[in-house]
Amino acid sequence: MTGAAQLLEVQNLSVAYRQGSGWSRAVDDVSFSLRAGEVFGLVGESGCGKSTIALQLLGYRHLSMRVEHGDVLFKGQSLTSMSRGELDTLRGDRIAFVPQNPTTALNPGIRIGRQVAETMLAHGRIQSLESTAAISGILKLVRLPADPVFQRRYPHQLSGGQQQRVCIAMALACDPDLLVLDEPTTGLDVTTQEQIISLLSELRGRIGVAMLYVTHDLALLSQIADRIGVMYAGRMVEIAPTDEIFLRPRHPYTQGLIASIPVIGEPSASRSRPLRGLLRRRELPSGCPFAPRCDHALDRCATERQELQSIDDNRAVACWRWREIAPIAATPNSATMAGAIAHRASVLSVDHVSVVYGPRSRGFRAVSDVSFDIKEGEVFALVGESGSGKSTLARAISGLTAPSTGTVRLRGEELAGAVRDRSDQQRRLIQYIFQNPDASLNPRARIGEAIARPLVHFFKMDGAKARATVVGALDDVRLDGSYQERFPDQLSGGERQRVAIARALAAKPALLLCDEILSALDVSVQANILTLLQQLKSEHAIAMLFISHDLAVVRFLADHVCVLYGGEVMEIGPREQVFAPPFHPYTHSLLHAVPVPLQRPDRPSKASKAAEPKRSGAGCVYAGRCPWQIGSICETERPPWREGRGGLGLRCHLTLEQLNARADWPPPKQEGIAV
Amino acid sequence: MSVGQATTQTPRRYHLLWGQTPQSFRIGLVILLVHLIVAITGPFWAPYGFSQMGAGIPLSGMSWAHPFGIDQLGRDVFSRVVHGSHIVILLSLSGTAIGLLVGAVLGLLSGYLGGWFDNLLQRLLEALISIPFLVLALIAIASAGPELSGNPILVVLVVALVYAPRIARIARAAAMDIATRDYVTVARLRGESAWSVMRRELLPNATGVLLVEFALRAGYAPVLVGSLGFLGFGLRPPTPEWGLMISENRALIIITPITVLGPGLALASLVVGLNLFTEGLARILGRTVRLGTQ
């Protein structure tokens, strides 16, 4: 393998962006290489420079950006000194790009067949835009229907997964040598993500294209990459084969990154050393950029620059102490408190709630006939892919969208449908925390004002008293009191989310509605917020409705889990029961879709059929996509509700025994994995 | 867990440094300062009075003694421009400011509340906007009655009436955009009144849009005031209002172009200065410029 020719070489690359009057370095002296047919993963937190490198592989140039040093060689040719014309013949033909967001990458006004054909036409692969045979060949390659009807569709008529397949098809249209993928699955559901990943690994086997895969998700990378480069603050801190990264991470940052990944196979495992702090570009030392956050840092680290050194044939690490730092070891699980919850009083009960958008008889049923109870101090998780009705349900509980039928009760009192008809007390007891902390804080209000507002509004506090309370509220979320003078744009994403949590806690709520509050954050920040939530749960005994698509996080935090599909409850029960057989077929495919470090999908994806949920008529909403479908009964008859052990309930035509027999999760564990 | 360690650093202090303000802000500020100094001190140093005749030979052109020439009645145009400065600035700014206040409140509430209130108000405003603004101004002045004619307060109110509907539409568009943000939803969930949401959440975030709108309108207001004067419905001669002066000297533009260009230049520089300044200010207030750290 080492003898193979280098397809791509990045040599001592430094890239800077214009910032005010000066230049700030986003990529600092990075070198790595890629062999033909190899998949190289580039991983790091936001702002580490990984996307900048990806763009350099395409010879991207911009007025506010400059390559200060180094070069990118593709088959020996320098991409940084190539003329625009030469780049144009190379890009799309030999090097192709798959963007993060297919919805904005595809032109909404052009039929997809034509969009794919345009690339081929530009590089002389076909003679006219009408050559449907060539287009259908490429669509088949990415497992899309190849018929002319499909080719005449517009992007908005496709699902997100199909759109990303079209983008991949466009990238593969000219049979390139190198595919650059920038977070290609970040915006997709976990089941769709699994399909895209298995498509990519299949393509790689079939057509032998090399890939540079940029992502923040290390677990995902382990499923596809041969080698992984870990970046921190613009520097490459470690390069190693995938297995080595997970089994024996050498750099303290890699170790922290791996420890921060919630792993679905190990519930409630509080890991040894998740990363602390966060990357502050303004305060980097002259030496190792990771020194301020490193547990192993010595004085020497802050002043002496760490170069990437080869430590054996195919690994390199930028840390002079790598020999002394022991690979991380897992610590025992923390105790769970699930058992005690059953006897507590209910805070919120949702009773046969449906939400229909549009006219009631033929409108869109976003949520249909959902019932559950949330007890005091319980974390209740709602799980499902986008469009499953999770957020709609949270909006119905908060009063932003009135339920069409059914009732919501708070501590036994029935709540009015619309928030303006509820009492101040009821509004105070339910607090909503949003997904995106950038949007949930008023950019023109200081942090102190934002947190003081609920105090003044609900408790009629005066200025001085509110200020004193704000310090306490900030302390609750482990932020310093001095933060109240700042504006939101002076905070990092994780800090902003803490402020949003502090603001919600200031109202002394009985129930927190947490709507995907971790998904906009980096993995190390996620781990810190998760720990914070865990602490709040035990300190304040607040109930939480925790909406997430991340089953690993849910398994870590939740006491009770409810799985939604197409607006209906598929399965509900205590965490231990939901994450153990018998599984509902949908839960089962969700669990299988979660990337687990070093466990590659060895068989075709379970959720291979991407169909829309059936929202009308008889039968099961999951029919048509269900891998365990037993026949026409699924299409025609609504499945019965089955009650299992320990409060588990699920809706399926298969009996619990049959489901039990089909379950094969968790997959057998591999030995020696450090995570 | 080491969550606390992450955040115990002392916060950075933010200062606005002159060198980091947008260039448009700096240029605009300088132009505006010149105008303000002229407006305040002008009456004390202007070479002639604003209605003093016989300052020179009527219709003479540019010279050192009379930079903007002499008008038909033998008045020094430069002195008249200097004397008129405070009138123009005062009338335009106060008229636009009242229009901004009324328009912003109506527009923001309309955009946030939606529903029948929004519908009704928008139809009303559309009706007002559909009338050409000069016609609207004349209708307003005519209905105010003859005894108020020529009164500066009436001119100010007319400017406000003409601008308020247009500003309200911009404010409404801004409010509709801001109203979808999560922080507004948070305020709604808290049960805040529409007034409170408007004041705390919408207004501070719409300042950028509103200030730019203010600048554009304020820049055109002197022209509106002048047009009214020209038609005999604004200020009366011999008030040295620039628009009025332009229309007075307009007929003689072929003989002494400088008597029109002079006040025109003053008007143009005020408009440009106002626009640059408020645009820069909007960027600073909108926190889109990078502020210095110390």
Radius of gyration of chain B (CA): 23
Q: Do A504 and A236 meet the contact criterion of CB atoms below 8 Å apart?
A: no
Residues of A in contact with B195 (CB under 8 A): none
At B158, which amino acid appears? Answer: V
Over residues A376-402, mean pLDDT: 89
Cα A54 to Cα A580: distance, rounded to the nearest angstrom: 41
8 Å CB contact of B6 and A434 = no
Q: Sorting pLDDT into bands at 50, 70 and 90, what band is A342?
A: low
Find residue A355's DSSP bridge partners: A367
Residues of B in contact with A442 (CB under 8 A): 183, 200-201, 204-205
8 Å CB contact of A483 and B11 = yes
**In A156-285, alpha helices (H):** 160-172, 190-207, 218-221, 242-247, 252-260
8 Å CB contact of B11 and A490 = yes
Residues of B in contact with A532 (CB under 8 A): 3
Assigned superfamily of B50-293: MetI-like (1.10.3720.10)
Residues of A in contact with B186 (CB under 8 A): 432, 434, 440, 503
Q: pLDDT exceeding 90 applies to what percent of chain A?
A: 22
pLDDT tens-digit map of A276-329? 666 666 667 788 888 888 878 888 888 888 888 888 778 888 888 887 776 654
Distance from the Cα of B294 to chain A's closest Cα (Å) equals 12
pLDDT of residue B286: 58
Print pLDDT tens along chain B (294 aa): 333 333 333 333 445 566 667 788 889 999 999 999 999 998 898 888 888 888 788 888 888 888 888 888 889 999 999 998 998 889 889 999 999 999 999 999 999 998 899 999 999 999 999 999 889 998 998 888 888 777 889 989 999 999 999 999 999 999 999 998 999 999 999 989 999 999 999 998 888 788 878 877 887 787 788 778 777 777 887 888 888 888 888 888 888 888 889 988 998 898 888 888 877 776 776 554 333 332
Distance from the Cα of B190 to chain A's closest Cα (Å) equals 6
Contacts of A90 (CB under 8 A, 6+ apart): A59, A74, A79, A82
Q: Where, residue-wise, is CATH 3.40.50.300 in chain A?
A: 6-225, 338-565
Q: Looking at the partner chain, which of B183, B192, B207 has a beta carbon nearest the beta carbon of A441?
A: B183
Residues of A in contact with B204 (CB under 8 A): 442, 444-445
Q: Do A296 and A325 meet the contact criterion of CB atoms below 8 Å apart?
A: yes
Q: Do A597 and A219 meet the contact criterion of CB atoms below 8 Å apart?
A: yes
Helix (H) or strand (E) holding A241: strand A235-241
Residue from B190, B195, B291 to probe the interface with A (highest A Cβ count within 10 Å) = B190
Contacts of A323 (CB under 8 A, 6+ apart): none
Nearest to B239 by CA among B136, B113, B87: B87
Tell me: pLDDT of A52 over 70: yes
Q: Do A513 and A432 meet the contact criterion of CB atoms below 8 Å apart?
A: yes
ipTM of the assembly? 0.73
8 Å CB contact of A531 and B1 = yes
Residues of A in contact with B202 (CB under 8 A): none
pLDDT of residue A669: 57
* A30: three-class secondary structure by DSSP: strand
8 Å CB contact of B287 and A487 = yes
Q: Looking at the partner chain, which of A400, A485, A531 has a beta carbon nearest the beta carbon of B11?
A: A485
CATH number of A338-565: 3.40.50.300
8 Å CB contact of B186 and A503 = yes
CATH number of A6-225: 3.40.50.300
Structure-token pair, residue A312: 């054996």
